[in-house]
Chains A and B, each alone.
Chain A
Amino acid sequence: MNTVMSRPKFLSFRIYEKYKKIVVVFILIVLLFVFGATTLPNFLSVEQVFMTIKLASFTALFALCQMIVIAGGGSGLDLSVGYTATITAVLTASIMDGKNEPLLLAVLIALALGVMIGLANGVLTSYLKLPPLVVTLAMADILQGIVNAYVAGKAITGRPSPILVTIAAKFTGKFPNILFVLILVTSITMIILNKTKWGQILFGVGANERTAYLSGINVKKVRCITFTVSGVLSSLMGLLLLGNMGIAFKDMGSNYVLPSIAAVVIGGVSLAGGEGNYLGVILGAIFLQTLTNLLIAFGLGDAGKWLGFGIILFAMLSAYASNRRSR
């Protein structure tokens, strides 16, 4: 009786919590834009806003990989996302070489690489029970090492195929094409996470490993799959990054690792696992990009960017942690 009574209340509380964080992020973004608009000319022009959203889309897509792994719980975290993208971009650039025909081959290679890397992460973390952080950090080292060895002594040749450039870099009118990709990915993610049993299984495993296990869910398999999905998605992100930048280089993806985690945290997703709201994460990515733009516009450069990111991340973590603290 009691449980039945309390259930709707519990649900509405969760929905309230969910939207509260999104509203907070939204207000923060608006504040940043207001601040930017009053201090800098052209900050609020349509082009500038769309440019911000375009750049944020890449962070948001990387953050999706991160969110899926984090939602699976078990202190899951994938620090190899950016490096997976780099290795895919570097290896496929010479295959495509500016032509459309080899694109299919490039996509297949990206998928194979993503599955391999993601599966390796997943098996090591879930079946051998190694800490995800150390495994994915070491994986990042290995991938960067392969890239270093591959590029050692020669230039990376090749350009992305025109289709990729159109998808990742071009605009339709003032509307960046990558935004269509983001909208498509968002819809698919929302449907899978909220309307299918896969989403329930994922959140169930993240929220309470033991309960999920006792309900007959193969916890290890689910977590292994989250890492594989993350590997595949970040590998495909390598193609998009290549399309956007036009050339491949040694550390094109590594700069996305911290922002991808930061976007998830700012988006209000608990790092303990068991929840995930991709809309919040996208807002988190936009917030980070706006902040970066402001810091760069004020001429603070790399130092200001990393310091700003670090402080914001720390502040957000402290703010969200205080909700959860019991003593």
Chain B
Amino acid sequence: MNEVSKTGNVFYTFKGLLLKPEVSSFLIFIIMFVITATLQESFFTIKSIVRNINAFTPLILLAMGQAVVIVAGGLDLSSGAALSLFTCVLTTVMKRNDPVTGIYAILVTFAVAILVGMVNGVGIGYLRIPPVIVTFATSYMWLGIALFLRPTPGGESVDWFRAFYKIDAVAGAPAVLKTIGTFIPPALVLLIIGCLLWFIISKTRTGRYIYAVGSNIESAYVSGIDTARTQMLACIINSVFIFLAALFFVGQNQSGDARMGGPLTLKSIAAVVVGGISLTGGRGSVYFALLGALTLSFVNKIIFFANIPNAYQTLVSGIIIIVAIAGPAYVMFSKPKQ
């Protein structure tokens, strides 16, 4: 069979290759990359690369976290609300004039992040409530708590927190760090931390279990995997990714906002889908969520260059998400029956 397809019609081999989600999502990424690069004249200057990385980082981190949960057979509708909650906690604990409170804030927020992941994990893994519903419910819990802490956007932040956004902006930072910071923005460091985190986890038993549970929870359970614990760990990993995004956000804006993250939830799911990761779980590479998020971000940039008025952007992004999800499905179903 293999022989035939190799020596036979090249076109079918090509089409078969295109049907692989990874290949098609990589191709879409390349196309969007090229279009953006041609539209933006200064695309390849360091300044604009840094600016782009800063603009894309929150979505990339959220999408990677989302991908971990989706691969484990879940879905997180609360990730945007959790991001808002973390920014509110960070800016509530911090006091502007006391640099030490920054460290307290990071520790407290990290604990909150673990707790948030555990609550989602208990719902999805141990209670086995449909992930969509339980994270929908928790998203309103996070929104409620965030509104308690910060009814209106604002809050305090210590000065050195800007280091998560731009080392230049921190008064009294070492000159060496400042020089490095102009080439390697902190956002990139956060992204690398995220990728390393998943790289390490994917090499451990937990990483394999996450894929096993996602592809077939019954057989994973029968094989002796603690499926509930695995799904909870996936939720906690997701929470850590969101925590990284929150650090960047507070570094950038120096404030917390209870309603800021909402729109990012759907985008993160869309990024995962565009990255070729199956929503049914167990299939796809978490790193491809990064690619999907980049593709979506480039599309947003293209919309921006096309001079579409602000009022139409929600509309356009909604349509793009539908097309992005429906496109691969259409290709899959138009495949000739074997």
Residue ranges of A at the interface with B (Cβ–Cβ < 8 Å): 75, 77, 124, 128-131, 133-135, 137-142, 144-146, 148-149, 152-153, 258, 261-262, 265, 271-272, 301-311, 313-314, 317-318, 321-322, 324-325, 327
Binds A, one of B105-113, B140-148, B160-168, B285-293: B140-148
* Contact call B322/A138, Cβ cutoff below 8 A: yes
The one of A129, A144, A301, A314 in contact with B333, judged by C-beta atoms closer than 8 angstroms, is A129
* Contact call A75/B141, Cβ cutoff below 8 A: no
Q: For residue A34, give the distance in angstroms from its CB to the closest CB of chain B.
A: 25
Q: For residue A314, give the distance in angstroms from its CB to the closest CB of chain B.
A: 5
Instruction: Tell me if A's interface is mostly helix, strand, loop or mixed.
Output: helix
* Contact call A142/B139, Cβ cutoff below 8 A: no
* Contact call A325/B127, Cβ cutoff below 8 A: yes
* Contact call A313/B326, Cβ cutoff below 8 A: no
Bound-state CA distance A225–B180 (Å) is 59
Instruction: Tell me if B's interface is mostly helix, strand, loop or mixed.
Output: helix
* Contact call A145/B322, Cβ cutoff below 8 A: no
* Contact call A310/B134, Cβ cutoff below 8 A: no
* Contact call A305/B314, Cβ cutoff below 8 A: no
Q: Name the interface size band of chain B.
A: 35 or more
The one of B129, B311, B321 in contact with A321, judged by C-beta atoms closer than 8 angstroms, is B129
* Contact call B314/A310, Cβ cutoff below 8 A: no
Q: Contacts A304-B144, A307-B145 given: A130-B326 contact, CB under 8 Å?
A: yes
Q: For residue A300, give the distance in angstroms from its CB to the closest CB of chain B.
A: 9
Residues of chain B contacted by A325 (CB below 8 angstroms): 127-128
* Contact call A311/B141, Cβ cutoff below 8 A: yes
Residues of chain B contacted by A305 (CB below 8 angstroms): 144
Residues of chain A contacted by B314 (CB below 8 angstroms): 141-142, 144-145, 148
Residues of chain B contacted by A265 (CB below 8 angstroms): 133
A sample of 15 cross-chain residue pairs with beta-carbon separation below 8 angstroms, ordered by A number, consists of A124-B326, A131-B279, A134-B279, A135-B325, A138-B325, A141-B314, A141-B315, A149-B311, A261-B133, A262-B137, A304-B148, A307-B143, A307-B144, A313-B140, A321-B129
Q: For residue A204, give the distance in angstroms from its CB to the closest CB of chain B.
A: 20
* Contact call A138/B140, Cβ cutoff below 8 A: no
* Contact call A303/B333, Cβ cutoff below 8 A: no
Asked if B123 lies at the interface with its beta carbon under 8 angstroms from chain A, I say yes
Bound-state CA distance A238–B140 (Å) is 24
* Contact call B326/A128, Cβ cutoff below 8 A: yes
